Amino acid sequence: MIAPPVTSAPLFSIVVPVYKPRRAYLTAMIDSVRNQDFPDWELICVDDAAGEDAVVTGILSAAAAADSRVRLVTRTVNGGIVAATNDGIGIARGQFIALVDHDDVLAPTALSRVADTIAAVPDADVLYTDEAHLGEDNHPVSPFHKPDFSPERLRSHMYIGHLGVYRRSLIETIGGFREGYDGSQDYDLALRATEQARRVVHIPQALYYWRIHEESVSHRSDNSAVFDAAKRAIADHLDRIGMVGTVEQTHPVGVYRVRRPVQDEPLVSIVIPTRGGSAEVRGRQRVMVTEAVRSVIANSTYTNIEFIVVFDDPTPASVLADLAEIGGDRMHLVRWSAPFNFSAKINRGAVHAKGEYLLMLNDDVEVISPDWLETMLSLAQQEGVGMVGPMLYFEDGTIQHGGHVYTGGGPGHIAFGWNPGSTGPFAGLIIDREVSGVTGACALMPTALFNEIGGMSTTLPVNFNDVDLCLKVTTAGHRILWTPHAELFHFESKTRVAGVVQEELDSLLLRWGSKLEADPYWRFGADEHRQ
Amino acid sequence: MTDLTSDATAGRPDGGLTAAQVAAAERQLMLVDRIQVLQNELAEWRVRDQMSHQRLARELNAVQDRLNHAQAENAALRAAVNEVHSSMSWRIGRTVLLPVRAAKWARRRRGRTA
């Protein structure tokens, strides 16, 4: 490759703090930068070992001598990753700062792909790419196909990772890396930068290889200081954006949960369409709707609720009497005399709803988490959130619903049939996160929004009405969240024969076809689905 | 319990919605939905049929006609449904505030006796 003339202001400044790396890994990193098919960069290596390692210093000096775009900074004292990276940023001339670790490798097209994206999205202030691990044998493994910008997920774990590229003016505005967050300094930076970025752009291609070896931070036996720093970073983030909540670590690999209080205890209208059918659950026959209502009342700690049960004509009088007795003043029974239409029944219930929030609930569910409503409600009350869905399990404990995924021209359930306790790919089943949609079997949304977008589409009487509703919610500019911290059983298809009517699928594709091709939030392939 | 088992379209015995109000509210939900459906279909046809202009024009015109009709009916229905929503807002305020006030009153009572 022919080295181009150095411009005074390259597009990219690649900043690499260097501290006692393996020689071969450092060389591979430098080579991967010099082998980029895009020339407009500078590589700033900050030697944080104060020149103590003569071999490393030699490698860096040789690289600088061989390519004028490689710049070397030697600290006089070891300052740690935050100080070293800030030193590099301090002398950077590029419009964008790309952060690279001293033992990692860039794909040859990494910078050109980012440059293309910047050209296409001129107001992009933060960009990130997919990444893969690099094993000891130098083969890429475990690709992490990240979601598009997902602020709720970012409050749960540092998913942006590598390659992270930040507009230099933004980094300068927020003051670079902060001392006191070592080990989670990149997480802290990502939170602060995305808060102020005009646009955060995801490049769905693995352009960075993160080397996994014995000295990696992720292989340390005690990372408690790193996790404490991450919790502080998230708590600071909540303070800055005015979000009330507490942070707790929920998994040893560095996964967090923000617990928020419910504001003002709003009334939740629970709309349940039913025919009053019975089925066997755990070896016993039960009337599904009465047990669903009973479980909501008995197992829920949130009490400001009303039930609107929309029942078909054939519903037995004894079922209605039981519902009246179980629900008391909170029970409203609404008759449905027309042919079955799930959407129309939900709409009928919504018309009668008095609550500020509407919870669509199937009659074949059973509450597991006592605070399920608080969990969903506290998420639904966040700015910009239009709908929230929970984790649903089949009777045998396997997962029925981990959010919707709309990809390959059709909708599906995330984690359908997976074993209970699965963390999912990249913690996807143990964190609150943005999703393209959630099942109408249990979904909470503001009543005003439901009305604003025309409720459920009566042209989809049986299938995909929830998919359609979700797409209307997101198209209207709202986020949809899924949470694993609200759990229910869903004894799906025990009361109704499941079946897809081709006409409904055609209808869905006709109106949403282009939005069903590639899911922005769940991009895991068949390999990851088997986890 | 509010018993609406006779017929929802007969209105709510607790002084809630009338049959006409229920019908109007449901009709408007349907119209708002239909407008969005048709707008989406227009967009999808444009994406799908960029290469077959004749079919595009035929489908577009048909969908556009349906969209115009739905928008006209929706506008005509707006006043009636606004009235329904006003009624609902009043009832939402009553339903939300009364339990909250009751809970606060109960907490104060407990505080006094503790």
End-to-end alpha-carbon separation of chain B, Å? 34
SS3 category, A236: helix
For residues A411-431, give the mean pLDDT.
92
Alpha-helical segments (H) within A430-464? 447-452
Strands A410-413 and A268-274: unpaired
SS3 category, A141: strand
Q: Residue written as tokens 């009337």? A: A287
pLDDT of B51 over the 60 cut: no
**Same domain, yes or no, for A237 and A277?**
no
A472 touches chain B (CB under 8 A): yes
For residues B26-30, give the mean pLDDT.
91
- Residues near A240 by beta carbon (within 8 Å), at least 6 away in sequence: A192, A195
Interface of B with A in 11-30 (CB under 8 A): 12, 16-17, 22, 25-26, 28-30
Cis, bond preceding A163 (omega within 30 deg of 0): yes
Q: Which long-range contacts (CB under 8 A, 24 or more apart) does A283-291 make?
A: A287/A319, A287/A322, A288/A363, A288/A364, A288/A491, A288/A494, A288/A495, A289/A319, A289/A323, A289/A363, A290/A319, A290/A322, A290/A323, A290/A326, A291/A366
> Cβ separation of A452 and B32 shorter than 8 Å?
yes
How many alpha carbons lie under 13 Å from residue A51 in its C-beta half-sphere? 6
For residues A244-250, give the mean pLDDT.
96
**Same domain, yes or no, for A243 and A272?**
no
Fill in the amino acid letter for B33. D
Confidence of residue A531 (pLDDT cuts 50, 70, 90): very low
SS3 category, A232: helix
Q: Which of A249, A279, A310 is the last residue of a domain?
A: A249
- What is the C-alpha to C-alpha distance for residues A141 and A450, in angstroms, rounded to an integer? 43
**Same domain, yes or no, for A168 and A276?**
no
- Residues near A194 by beta carbon (within 8 Å), at least 6 away in sequence: A126, A149, A151, A154, A160, A200
B30 min Cα distance to partner chain A (Å): 6
Q: What percent of chain A has pLDDT over 90?
A: 80
For residues A469-485, give the mean pLDDT.
97
Mean pLDDT of chain A: 91
Q: How many folded domains does chain A comprise?
A: 2
- What is the C-alpha to C-alpha distance for residues A391 and A68, in angstroms, rounded to an integer? 55
Weakest mean pLDDT among A201-215, A226-240, A351-365, A466-480: A201-215
CA nearest neighbour of A467 among A422, A503, A430, A504? A504
* Within-domain flag for A5: no
Q: Are A43 and A33 in contact (CB under 8 A)?
A: yes
pLDDT digits (tens, 9 = 90+) for A264-299: 999 999 999 999 999 999 999 999 999 999 999 999
Domain span holding position A345: 268-529
Q: Residue written as tokens 């506290």? A: A378
Cα A249 to chain centroid, rounded:
16
**Same domain, yes or no, for A195 and A135?**
yes
CA nearest neighbour of A521 among A489, A472, A474, A486? A474
* Within-domain flag for A502: yes
Q: Which of A249, A284, A301 is the last residue of a domain?
A: A249
Confidence of residue B13 (pLDDT cuts 50, 70, 90): very low
> Cβ separation of A457 and B33 shorter than 8 Å?
yes
Q: What is the pLDDT of residue A498?
A: 54
* Within-domain flag for A417: yes
Q: What is the CATH number of the domain that holds A399?
A: 3.90.550.10
**Same domain, yes or no, for A221 and A276?**
no
pLDDT digits (tens, 9 = 90+) for A75-90: 988 889 999 999 999 9
pLDDT digits (tens, 9 = 90+) for A379-391: 999 999 999 999 9
**Same domain, yes or no, for A221 and A359?**
no
pLDDT digits (tens, 9 = 90+) for A226-244: 999 999 999 999 999 999 9
Q: What is the pLDDT of residue A171?
A: 97
CA nearest neighbour of A279 among A343, A365, A340, A391? A365
Weakest mean pLDDT among A42-46, A164-168, A422-426: A422-426
pLDDT of A47 over the 90 cut: yes
> Cβ separation of B99 and A304 shorter than 8 Å?
yes
Confidence of residue B52 (pLDDT cuts 50, 70, 90): low
For residues A340-362, give the mean pLDDT.
96
Q: Are A96 and A12 in contact (CB under 8 A)?
A: yes
Q: Are A34 and A118 in contact (CB under 8 A)?
A: no
pLDDT of B84 over the 80 cut: no
A529 min Cα distance to partner chain B (Å): 30
Q: What is the pLDDT of residue B95?
A: 43
**Same domain, yes or no, for A146 and A289?**
no
Q: Are A104 and A208 in contact (CB under 8 A)?
A: yes
Tokens at residue A241, please? Answer: 């954006």
**Same domain, yes or no, for A170 and A288?**
no
> Cβ separation of B22 and A327 shorter than 8 Å?
no
* Within-domain flag for A256: no
Q: What is the pLDDT of residue B3?
A: 56
A309 touches chain B (CB under 8 A): no
Confidence of residue A505 (pLDDT cuts 50, 70, 90): confident
- Report the run of H or E that residue A13 belongs to, with start and end: strand A12-18
pLDDT digits (tens, 9 = 90+) for A99-155: 999 999 999 999 999 999 999 999 999 999 999 988 777 777 788 899 999 999 999
Q: What are the structural domain ranges in chain B? A: 17-113
DSSP string for residues in A53-94: -HHHHHHHHHHHHH-TTEEEEE-SS--HHHHHHHHHHHH--S
Q: Which long-range contacts (CB under 8 A, 24 or more apart) does A121-125 make?
A: A121/A199, A121/A201, A123/A198, A123/A199, A124/A167, A124/A198, A124/A199, A124/A200, A124/A201, A125/A166, A125/A167, A125/A170, A125/A193, A125/A196, A125/A197, A125/A198, A125/A199, A125/A200
What number is the ipTM of this complex? 0.73
Backbone angles phi, psi at A81, to 5 degrees: -65, -35
Q: Are A483 and A391 in contact (CB under 8 A)?
A: yes
Q: Residue written as tokens 């509010």? A: B2
* Within-domain flag for A40: yes
Q: What percent of chain A has pLDDT over 70?
A: 93
CA nearest neighbour of A102 among A47, A53, A51? A47
**How would you write B35-94 as a 3-class SS string?**
HHHHHHHHHHHHHHCCCCHHHHHHHHHHHHHHHHHHHHHHHHHHHHHHHHHHHHHHHHHH
Q: What percent of chain B has pLDDT over 70?
A: 45
For residues B54-74, give the mean pLDDT.
71
> Cβ separation of B33 and A265 shorter than 8 Å?
no
Cα A308 to Cα A339, A344, A369, A396: the distances in Å are 19, 14, 22, 29
Interface of A with B in 369-428 (CB under 8 A): none
For residues B89-104, give the mean pLDDT.
46
Q: What is the pLDDT of residue A84?
A: 95
End-to-end alpha-carbon separation of chain A, Å? 42
**Same domain, yes or no, for A287 and A210?**
no
CB atoms near residue A232 (< 10 Å): 16
pLDDT digits (tens, 9 = 90+) for A158-217: 999 999 999 999 999 999 999 999 889 999 999 999 999 999 999 999 999 998 876 665
**Same domain, yes or no, for A367 and A508?**
yes
* Within-domain flag for A373: yes
Q: What is the pLDDT of residue A70?
A: 96
- State the angle between helix axes of B19-48 and B53-113 in degrees (0 to 180), rounded to the nearest 10: 130
CB atoms near residue A257 (< 10 Å): 21
> Which of chain B's residues have a Cβ under 8 Å away from the Cβ of A453?
32-33, 36
pLDDT of B99 over the 80 cut: no
A307 touches chain B (CB under 8 A): no
* Within-domain flag for A99: yes
Confidence of residue A501 (pLDDT cuts 50, 70, 90): confident
**Same domain, yes or no, for A230 and A278?**
no
**Same domain, yes or no, for A174 and A286?**
no
Q: What is the pLDDT of residue B10?
A: 39
* Within-domain flag for A521: yes
> Cβ separation of B16 and A352 shorter than 8 Å?
yes
* DSSP 8-state class, residue A96: E
Q: Are A248 and A259 in contact (CB under 8 A)?
A: yes
A273 min Cα distance to partner chain B (Å): 14
